[in-house]
């Protein structure tokens, strides 16, 4: 087989006519250099004269080479020459026939739209999508409340096995990562706070700083974000792949309501587990803070607890905990909703999963801000 080879091209204009001599290996790998010369190729005298394309020196030809020969022949024909081939084998003839009978020269590129049109299109598209999204979510929230109410009226409708399974998956299995992250953040918060407060001689308030920020805000926020990334995405991916394989449709035709089967157990499991996780996250954060304070300032754990009692009352802790079930509802709802929105393809599962995580983290932070305004107004 050829690994090296060249394609050659010679032209000769005599009184008898115009001669184009092709030689060597005219395959897609070697014809690159001939593209421009062939396009420029044109005899000085054209109209009514003969042109001969000589293929005798040609050892190999493929569709790319045949296309370029055919293109050249057409180019000469348009200029008014009579074109014929010389020395073509049966094999070359077949290839030349193949390329000659194809429709060619049609447009393969769409012209890009002007910049401002693209800008307007994308902004408009985003707004419309966001509108649909909000409508869809509100509608889904209604369906979910309906399903939850049915479950409350007839508790036997609750699928116990999936409920417990999802409690384990979203709660118990998330413990290591939640504990580790909150412990470390608690420590960092205490360390950074201590350094800054020292400048005012107020390092004694480090405990207050850690206790209040962690119990009110950081504990629940961190936990919710971890859970959104871990379980919200899992909900979307699980339900999404079931939707993709038409399992959800199969469920409907068998008289099972996907809301009862898939959504309610997940939502309830997360509503139960997120507060528990938040409680553990709070404890781990305080533990991290206590360790750092003990190391840096020599405040023993006993004294830490006494200071903690002075700094934080029940409502400092309560404010954080109250948010947990609401955030759980938002995360689980967005996760399940995105999963059910998946359409046929595997790409759509990936896209929806990414969107679900982004949306639920965004909503968690919005919700947290709303709660902050509410509690401040209420003076808690």
Partner 1 sequence: MDSEEPIIKVRGLKNQFGSQVVHDNLNLDVYRGEVLGIVGGSGTGKSVLLRSIVGLQRPTSGSISVLGQTISQMDEDKRRLLEQKWGILFQDGALFSALTVAENIQVPYREHLQLSETLMDELAALKISMTGLPLEAGTKYPSELSGGMRKRAGLARALALDPDILFLDEPTSGLDPIGAAAFDTLIRDLQSTLGLTVFLVTHDLDTLHATCDRIAVLADKHVTVQGTMSDMLKCDHPWVKEYFTGPRARAAQMSASG
- Quick check: 99 binds partner 1 (CB under 8 A)? yes
Report DSSP state, residue 32.
Answer: G
- Quick check: 112 binds partner 1 (CB under 8 A)? no
- Quick check: 29 binds partner 1 (CB under 8 A)? yes
The angle formed by the CA atoms of residues 178, 137 and 129, to the nearest 5 degrees, is 105
- Quick check: 109 binds partner 1 (CB under 8 A)? yes
Q: State the binding string over 326-345 for partner 1 (x if CB under 8 A, else -).
A: -------------------x
- Quick check: 302 binds partner 1 (CB under 8 A)? no
- Quick check: 351 binds partner 1 (CB under 8 A)? no
- Quick check: 59 binds partner 1 (CB under 8 A)? no
| Rounded CA separation 277/271 (Å) | 11
Sheet order of strands, 18-26 included: 7-13, 18-26, 50-61, 82-86
Minimum Å gap between C-beta 232 and partner 1 is: 26
- Quick check: 107 binds partner 1 (CB under 8 A)? yes
With H, G, I as helix, E, B as strand and everything else as coil, classify residue 155.
helix
Q: Which of 36, 161, 373, 378 binds partner 1 (CB under 8 A)?
A: 36
Q: Which of 56, 59, 84, 94 binds partner 1 (CB under 8 A)?
A: 94
- Quick check: 353 binds partner 1 (CB under 8 A)? no
Size of site (CB under 8 A) for partner 1: 30
Alpha helices (runs of H) in 105-159, residue ranges in sequence order: 115-153
- From the list 7-15, 32-40, 210-218, 256-264, the region that binds partner 1 by CB under 8 A is 32-40
Q: Which of 19, 41, 64, 79 binds partner 1 (CB under 8 A)?
A: 64
CA atoms within 13 A on the CB side of 15: 0
With H, G, I as helix, E, B as strand and everything else as coil, classify residue 14.
coil
| Rounded CA separation 118/130 (Å) | 18
CB-CB contact of 364 with 225 (8 Å) = yes
- Quick check: 347 binds partner 1 (CB under 8 A)? yes
With H, G, I as helix, E, B as strand and everything else as coil, classify residue 58.
strand
| Rounded CA separation 18/15 (Å) | 8
- Quick check: 305 binds partner 1 (CB under 8 A)? no
Minimum Å gap between C-beta 62 and partner 1 is: 4
Q: Dmax of the chain from CA atoms?
A: 112
- Count helices and strands in the chain by DSSP H and E runs: 15, 4
- Contact residues: partner 1, CB under 8 A: 1, 3, 27-29, 32, 35-36, 62-64, 67-68, 71, 91, 94-95, 98-99, 102-110, 345, 347
């Amino acid at each position: 087989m050829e690994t090296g080879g060249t394609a050659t091209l010679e032209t000769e204009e005599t009184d008898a006519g115009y001669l184009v001599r092709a030689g060597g290996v005219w395959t897609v790998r070697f014809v690159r250099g001939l593209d421009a010369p062939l396009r420029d190729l044109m005899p000085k005298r054209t109209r009514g004269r003969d042109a001969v394309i000589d293929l005798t020196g040609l050892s190999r030809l493929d569709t790319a080479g045949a296309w370029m020969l055919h293109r050249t022949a057409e180019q000469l024909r348009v200029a008014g020459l009579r074109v014929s081939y010389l020395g073509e084998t049966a094999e070359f003839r077949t290839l030349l026939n193949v390329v000659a009978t194809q429709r060619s020269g049609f447009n393969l590129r769409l012209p890009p739209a002007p910049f401002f049109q693209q800008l307007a299109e994308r902004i408009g598209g985003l707004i419309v999508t966001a509108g649909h999204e909000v409508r869809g979510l509100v509608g889904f929230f209604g369906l979910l409340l309906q399903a939850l109410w049915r479950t409350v009226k007839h508790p036997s409708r609750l699928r116990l096995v999936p409920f417990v399974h999802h409690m384990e998956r979203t709660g118990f299995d998330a413990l290591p990562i939640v504990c580790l992250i909150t412990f470390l953040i608690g420590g960092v918060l205490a360390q950074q706070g201590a350094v800054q407060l020292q400048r005012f001689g107020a390092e004694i308030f480090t405990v207050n700083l850690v206790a209040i920020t962690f119990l009110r805000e950081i504990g629940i926020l961190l936990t919710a974000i971890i859970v959104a990334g871990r379980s919200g995405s899992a909900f979307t991916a699980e339900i999404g792949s079931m939707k993709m394989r038409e399992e959800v449709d199969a469920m409907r035709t068998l008289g099972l309501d996907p809301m009862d089967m898939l959504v309610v157990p997940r939502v309830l499991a997360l509503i139960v587990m997120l507060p528990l996780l938040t409680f553990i996250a709070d404890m781990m954060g305080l533990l991290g803070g206590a360790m750092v304070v003990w190391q840096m300032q020599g405040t023993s754990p006993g004294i830490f607890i006494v200071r903690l009692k002075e700094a934080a009352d029940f409502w400092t802790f309560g404010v954080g905990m109250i948010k947990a079930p609401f955030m759980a509802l938002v995360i689980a709802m967005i996760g399940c909703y995105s999963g059910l929105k998946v359409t046929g393809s595997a790409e759509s599962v990936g896209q929806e999963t990414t969107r679900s995580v982004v949306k639920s983290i965004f909503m968690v932070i919005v919700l947290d801000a709303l709660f902050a305004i509410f509690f401040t107004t209420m003076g808690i």
